[in-house]
Amino acid sequence: MWSPSLSSFSLLLAALQPAAAIWPAPQSLTKGDSVLYLHQNIEITYDGESIPYTYGYEPRKLTSKEVVQAGISRTLAGIFGNSIVPWKLHKPGSKFEPDLSKGQQWLKTLKIVQKAKDKPSTFKPLAGEVDESYNLTVSADGHAKLTALSSIGVLRGLETFSQLFYQHSAGTFWYTPFAPVSVQDSPRFPHRGILLDTARNFMPLPDVLRTIDAMAWSKLNRLHIHVTDSQSWPIVIPSMPELSEKGAYHPSQTYSPEDIERIQTYGVERGVEVYFEIDMPGHIGVVSLSHPELIVAYNLQPYQWWCQEPPCGAFKLNNTAVDAFLDKLFDDLLPRLAPHAAYFHTGGDELNRNDSMLDEGIRSNATEVLQPLLQKFIDTQHARVRAAGLTPITWEEIPLEWNVTMAKDTVVQAWLGGDSVKTLTSKGYKVIDSNYNFWYLDCGRGQWLTWANGEGFTQGYPFNDWCGPTKSWALVYQHDPTAGLTSEEAERVLGGEVALWAETIDPINFDTLAWPRASAAGEALWSGRIDPDTGRNRSQVEAAPRLNEFRERLVARGVRASPIQMTFCTQGKAEECQFIVA
């Protein structure tokens, strides 16, 4: 006779209970099974001061109180306006809702206490400068308490609070079935991000703002905007209007300085730091449209000799006019970015050494010629970034392929996988992991280049892209950026970013590709793989029902997130949808 071991028995029980489906999983969570109803007149205080719920409250300035007040407004508006009736998460025909005729125990108070003062860096932190931890308790008799050390921690706790609630199908009741609740929570990594590419296809302002909202719900806190590339220049630089006039796809496909400021402050108000990348010295061909004298190898074929994808183009590495151009560009741009970000990314991926063969000031592709020029280029640009009060970030090729040395506070973004993260951290660099084998969400959907009939067609068949297969939520979820590192190396890993390179992504399909897979990375980066309660890796069997629920919340809040399973599985049938090893 089969007798369940204690652990498989308790796993089974866990699967049958209604999940308190907080995503990402808090470090610790206990819950009960009492019902509490939420009312718009709930008494809310922040550090003793009454903050009644006001719909649509926007911060008037960036102060702790304004940020928290707006956070409260969004949280309650989200619960009352965009909650789910969770029929998709329970067995068909089951009675999962509280009986309204039994009367209502109301949640009477929400007391928010911020135990430390915010610093100016709270709103533009370097990794580790803001404490995002929070504790949340909800007593069965209707009193909630949220404590945190920063206003950003308060926002994280409010998001968890909102995920406790459902709408009743009667329409005008909102409840949590989980009281009493006790949560203690803090992130594993300080840098948890998304890379948005606005150069291959443009992302209009409202889509960027919606992305920031969905990030905050997933407790992601860094939006890296790869704003220019060889294909287009959407960012308006007032002192150099020719860049976007000639380089944007269309005048409608641009970000004005006001748009940039709006994106950044929208992020700050949600605990999402928005920082920008101008990729150079490769990936900058578009500058050729307005400043042809600065660029080599623009729009050459066969492009493979000059770059990774058309239309190529790199800065001339031994040209004082390039330096003057960057001086002017950075003088205009960086002082506008610095008030709301701690970082600026100077790119540096995929520089093809052949490009300098065409540079009349160099005419060489030899390492011993190019390396010193690149070192000087990076030194000069990073000095400008630092002078503006920002910390530079580069792609991994700059230190690893080109042996450029940089100050150790420089952050290096790794993407090539293999030993990159280990090599970089062992050299003392701080690292953001974007390993393409796990966290490139654009991969595996086919090639966008076309092949003519004949030899090319035969070579290209079956028209895959370079980084397939598609990275499923489960693959994204299990990636640990510190795997195989010593503890000293692991400490230098700031976190990671999932990337959505946009050759075949625009606002029409962005949400379905980003969500909820970016949320899966969000949990890997917030909670880590190890469940503190069991000391074991969180399993897909445990995670899927929670991610299914979070996906329903994303959809209810206006994000077109993909389903990760069919409704058959989401309806309380996690076990039936589990792979059983024969």
Using CB under 6 A, list all residues that contact ligand NAG: 115, 133-135, 147-149, 184, 305, 318, 352-354, 357, 361-362, 365, 367, 369, 371, 373, 402-403, 478, 529-530, 536-537
For 407-471, where are the alpha helices, taking DSSP H only? 420-426, 436-439, 455-460
Cα–Cα dist 59/71, whole Å: 9
Choice between 265 and 364, CB closer to ligand NAG: 364
Look-up: residue for tokens 């000095």? Answer: 383
CA distances from 229 to 65, 84, 248 (A): 39, 40, 11
Cβ closest to ligand NAG, residue 33 vs residue 419: 419
Q: Give me the phi and psi of 34, to 5 degrees please.
A: -90, 150
DSSP letters along 61-77, please?
SS-HHHHHHHHHHHHHH
Q: How far is the CB of 574 from ligand NAG (least distance, A)?
A: 20
Q: Which member of 66, 129, 261, 350 is catalytic? A: 350
- Shortest Å, Cβ 314 to ligand NAG: 12
Name the packing angle between helices 517-526 and 540-556 (round to 10°).
Answer: 120
**Shortest spacing between CB 247 and ligand NAG, in angstroms:** 25
Residues in the chain: 582
Whole-number Å distance between alpha carbons of 449 and 428: 39
State the CB neighbour count (10 A cutoff) for residue 508. Answer: 10
Nearer to ligand NAG (CB atom), residue 41 or residue 405? 405
Contact 284, 349 (CB under 8 A): no
Residue with tokens 């089951």: 94
- Measured torsion, CA atoms of residues 419, 499, 299, 345, in degrees rounded to the nearest 10: -80
Q: How far apart, in Å, are the Cα atoms of 433 and each of 188, 392, 421, 474, 492?
A: 14, 16, 7, 18, 11
Q: At its nearest, how many Å lie between ligand NAG and the CB of residue 534? A: 9
Strands 28-38 and 174-185 turn out to be antiparallel
Classify residue 275 by its DSSP letter: E
DSSP 372-413: HHHHHHHHHHHHHHHHTT-EEEEETHHHHTS-----TT-EEE
- The region that residue 377 occupies, defined by phi over 0 for left and psi between -120 and 50 for alpha, beta otherwise, is alpha
What are the tokens at 328? 């002017």
Which letter, b or e, does each residue of 133-146 get, where b requires 16 or more Cβ atoms within 10 Å of its Cβ? Answer: bbbbbbbeebbbbb
CB of 118 to ligand NAG, least distance (A): 14
Q: Which is nearer to ligand NAG, 402 or 440 (CB)?
A: 402
Q: How far, in Å, CA of 11 to CA of 6, rounded?
A: 9
Nearer to ligand NAG, 105 or 308 (CB): 308
Residue number, 54 or 537, with CB nearest to ligand NAG: 537
Listed residue (501, 318, 345) closest to 413, CA to CA: 345
| Residue 228 or 482 with smaller CB distance to ligand NAG | 482
CB of 372 to ligand NAG, least distance (A): 7
Determine the 3-state secondary structure of 46 from DSSP.
Answer: strand
Q: Which is nearer to ligand NAG, 307 or 334 (CB)?
A: 307
Compute CA 169 distance to the chain's CA centroid, rounded to the nearest angstrom. Answer: 33
Please state, in angstroms and rounded to a whole number, the distance separating the CA atoms of residues 143 and 166: 18
Cβ 508 to ligand NAG, closest distance in Å?
34
Residue closer to ligand NAG by CB (options 427, 529) is 529
Q: Is 350 a catalytic residue?
A: yes
At 321 the three-state DSSP class reads helix
For ligand NAG, which is the closer residue by CB, 66 or 531? 531
- Least distance to ligand NAG from the beta carbon of 397, Å? 10
Q: Which two tokens stand for residue 378?
A: 């990076």
Closest distance of CB 87 from ligand NAG, Å: 34
The CA-CA-CA angle for residues 445, 23, 144, to 5°, reads 160
Q: Are the C-beta atoms of residues 217 and 521 closer than 8 Å to each other? A: no
**Least distance (Å) between residue 350 CB and ligand NAG:** 10
- Residue 579 CB neighbour total at 10 angstroms: 7
Residues with a catalytic annotation lie at: 350
